């Protein structure tokens, strides 16, 4: 059937990889990844993303080589690379996973579809997640997700006699992060890429750390161990979501785990479908990457953006210790647990009254596990612009009292807080001058004053949002958003 081209994108693995397996069944395979400079110049790209991808590509190269298959890493515009490959090999079909990425990748894929049509090349796109392309009825989505996750994992390549196509030209050096203009620095202790690392994290979580999942995932101190830490590997396709789902079910069925462990695994499974639920929103409406899901919230924050408050947030000097500690942790690790992410966005959206789009671009670069579909849906949900979700306003002082009552997390990431007495742990700006002198901390110098009055700013923000929600036109537009995007969850996602 001729040469079969396999285009790796955000699916950097060999296990449960349908495009690779299907191509290998039909003819000699030409495996390639295209390093696209224009993609890495998008405002949601970061140095840490690039280095994670390079690490994953090295691991993928070794895994394919073990099966006698060569991975070609090429640089340039995808359509030009495809044309060059087609001229040299005459491949008759292109195989890849579907991708629900940012607006740039959406346009890129449309250009690839046009190229395939012009050159009479069949493009076989396989769903990678439980996301339905061309979904017409949200009521059918849950069943489709369950069906996808229940299918057997795609067999490994060692079940086939694979013939690989290799190009004769020598490979030019790959561009560095500096060549691509990706700003430094990057997190010093971030997770490392590759399916080998991803599968090790999966095994460790299911076998051990999931015991602490329930009750541990909200605390910024306990979450790094209690959470699965699989999000980055799922985002970049180092492990498949279907493998995670099925492996979790298998772990729950084991007879040698106790009740606490099983409850942790069950709690984890209840969250897996939300991954695809949120990506489906971007798949169904790509414009939510840059405009409000409910257009009735247009002009709510757009024209009152205060760059000084945004800079204070990015530089970890809002004055609220838990907020600033979370930003510091994010800078150093590229990761933060969900509750603290929600708190950061809530603080940005309400007391700081910042629009979600620039905040979202900043956080996209900060999160190593940045997944556009989840990211932009969550930014809007936490900012109150979906029109269908309960308003979530996180008080950073109360969150500190609930999630870090002894100040261990805050003191880990904010050295100046180590000298602050417990009495003033949650509101250090209220310390009398005598206490500041005694502990050697100067508020306004070592520890910033809050950039706004939290109570007043939050109340004003909520009043403005609720006033907009009561507007008859806004209330009338809610039904259309529910019809297109709301969850139809009736039972457990995995029942």
Statement to judge: residues 335 and 419 lie in one domain: yes
Q: Does residue 185 have a cis peptide bond before it, meaning omega lies within 30 degrees of 0?
A: yes
Residue 472 burial (CB count, 10 A): 8
Q: In what order do the strands lie in the sheet with 29-35?
A: 71-75, 29-35, 4-8, 93-97, 122-126
- Report phi then psi at 144, rounded to 5: -65, -40
Statement to judge: residues 299 and 435 lie in one domain: yes
Could you tell me which residues come within 8 angstroms of residue 293 by beta carbon, excluding any fewer than 6 positions away?
A: 281, 285, 377, 380, 385, 386, 387, 481, 485
Statement to judge: residues 276 and 315 lie in one domain: no
Q: Give the DSSP letter of residue 124.
A: E
> Which strand (E) or helix (H) includes residue 71?
strand 71-75
Tell me if residue 369 falls in helix, strand or coil.
Answer: coil
Statement to judge: residues 17 and 91 lie in one domain: yes
Statement to judge: residues 475 and 331 lie in one domain: yes
Our separate counts of H helices and E strands in the chain read 21, 5
Contact 267, 274 (CB under 8 A): no
Beta bridge partners of 18: none
Task: Return d(Cα 349, Cα 459) in angstroms, integer.
Answer: 12
Task: Return d(Cα 97, Cα 219) in angstroms, integer.
Answer: 35
Tell me the two tokens of residue 419: 């000298």
Could you tell me which residues come within 8 angstroms of residue 403 by beta carbon, excluding any fewer than 6 positions away?
A: 218, 219, 220, 221, 322, 339, 340, 409
- Looking at residue 489, its pLDDT comes to 60
Residue 434 lies in a domain: yes
Number of domains within the chain: 3
Task: Return d(Cα 419, Cα 413) in angstroms, integer.
Answer: 13
Spatial CA neighbour of 39 closest among 128, 101, 124, 127 = 101
Statement to judge: residues 254 and 228 lie in one domain: yes
CATH number at residue 231: 1.25.40.80
Beta bridge partners of 125: 96
Task: Return d(Cα 93, Cα 141) in angstroms, integer.
Answer: 29
Statement to judge: residues 278 and 317 lie in one domain: no
Instruction: Please list the alpha-helical segments (H only) found in 138-253.
Output: 141-150, 195-207, 223-226, 231-235, 241-252
- Looking at residue 226, its pLDDT comes to 97
Enclosing domain of residue 272: 195-284
Residue 154 lies in a domain: no
Residue 137 lies in a domain: no
Could you tell me which residues come within 8 angstroms of residue 257 by beta carbon, excluding any fewer than 6 positions away?
A: 251, 265
User: From its phi and psi, is residue 162 left (phi > 0), alpha (psi between -120 and 50) or beta?
Assistant: beta
Q: Which of 250, 284, 318 is the last residue of a domain?
A: 284
User: From its phi and psi, is residue 194 left (phi > 0), alpha (psi between -120 and 50) or beta?
Assistant: left
Statement to judge: residues 29 and 10 lie in one domain: yes
pTM: 0.95
- Looking at residue 170, its pLDDT comes to 66
Residue 169 lies in a domain: no
Statement to judge: residues 212 and 91 lie in one domain: no
Tell me if residue 36 falls in helix, strand or coil.
Answer: coil
Task: Return d(Cα 337, Cα 367) in angstroms, integer.
Answer: 11
What's the first-to-final CA gap in the chain, in angstroms?
A: 41
- Looking at residue 50, its pLDDT comes to 98
CATH number at residue 349: 1.10.579.10
Tell me the two tokens of residue 177: 């992060």
Task: Return d(Cα 372, Cα 333) in angstroms, integer.
Answer: 19
Q: Which of 91, 113, 128 is the last residue of a domain?
A: 128
Statement to judge: residues 325 and 280 lie in one domain: no
Which residues in the chain land under pLDDT 50?
A: 490-495
CA gyration radius, the chain: 24
Task: Return d(Cα 178, Cα 390) in angstroms, integer.
Answer: 43
Residue 79 lies in a domain: yes
Statement to judge: residues 231 and 322 lie in one domain: no
Statement to judge: residues 398 and 306 lie in one domain: yes
């Amino acid at each position: 059937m001729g040469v079969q081209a396999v285009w790796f994108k955000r699916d950097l693995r060999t296990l449960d990889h349908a495009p690779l397996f299907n191509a290998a069944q039909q003819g000699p395979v030409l495996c390639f990844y295209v390093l696209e400079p224009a993609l890495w110049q998008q405002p949601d790209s970061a140095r840490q993303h690039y280095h994670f991808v390079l690490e994953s590509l090295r691991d993928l190269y070794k895994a394919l080589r073990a099966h006698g298959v060569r991975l070609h890493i090429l640089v340039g515009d995808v359509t030009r690379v495809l044309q060059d490959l087609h001229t040299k090999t005459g491949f008759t079909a292109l195989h890849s996973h579907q991708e629900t990425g940012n607006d740039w990748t959406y346009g890129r894929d449309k250009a690839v579809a046009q190229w395939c049509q012009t050159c009479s090349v069949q493009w076989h796109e396989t769903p990678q997640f439980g996301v339905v392309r061309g979904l017409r009825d949200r009521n059918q989505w849950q069943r489709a997700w369950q069906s996808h996750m229940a299918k057997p994992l795609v067999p490994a390549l060692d079940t086939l006699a694979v013939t690989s196509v290799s190009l004769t030209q020598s490979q030019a050096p790959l561009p560095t992060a500096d060549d691509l203009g990706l700003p430094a620095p990057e997190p010093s202790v971030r997770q490392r890429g590759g399916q080998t690392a991803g599968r090790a994290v999966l095994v460790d979580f299911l076998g051990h750390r999931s015991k602490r999942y329930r009750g541990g995932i909200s605390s910024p101190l306990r979450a790094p161990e209690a959470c699965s830490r699989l999000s980055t590997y799922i985002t970049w396709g180092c492990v498949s979501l279907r493998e995670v789902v099925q492996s979790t079910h298998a772990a729950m069925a084991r007879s040698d785990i106790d009740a606490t462990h099983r409850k942790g695994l069950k709690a984890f499974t209840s969250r897996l479908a939300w991954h695809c639920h949120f990506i489906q929103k971007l798949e169904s409406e790509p414009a939510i990457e840059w405009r409000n899901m409910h257009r009735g919230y247009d002009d709510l924050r757009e024209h009152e953006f205060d760059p000084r408050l945004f800079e204070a947030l990015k530089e970890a000097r809002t004055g609220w210790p838990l907020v600033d500690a979370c930003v510091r942790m994010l800078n150093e690790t590229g990761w933060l647990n969900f509750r603290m992410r929600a708190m950061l966005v809530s603080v940005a959206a309400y007391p700081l009254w910042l629009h979600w789009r620039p905040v979202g671009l900043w956080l996209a670069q900060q999160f190593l596990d940045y997944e556009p579909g989840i990211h932009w849906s969550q930014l809007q949900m936490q900012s109150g612009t979906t029109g269908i979700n309960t308003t979530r306003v996180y008080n950073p002082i109360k969150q500190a009292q609930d999630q870090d009552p002894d100040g261990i997390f805050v003191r880990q990431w904010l050295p100046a807080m180590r000298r602050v007495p417990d009495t003033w742990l949650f509101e250090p700006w209220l310390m009398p001058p005598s206490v500041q002198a005694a502990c050697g901390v100067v508020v306004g110098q070592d520890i910033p004053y809050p950039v706004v009055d939290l109570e007043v700013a939050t109340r004003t923000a909520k009043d403005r949002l609720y006033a907009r929600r009561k507007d008859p036109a806004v209330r009338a537009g809610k039904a259309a958003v529910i019809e297109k995007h709301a969850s139809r969850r009736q039972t457990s996602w995995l029942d």
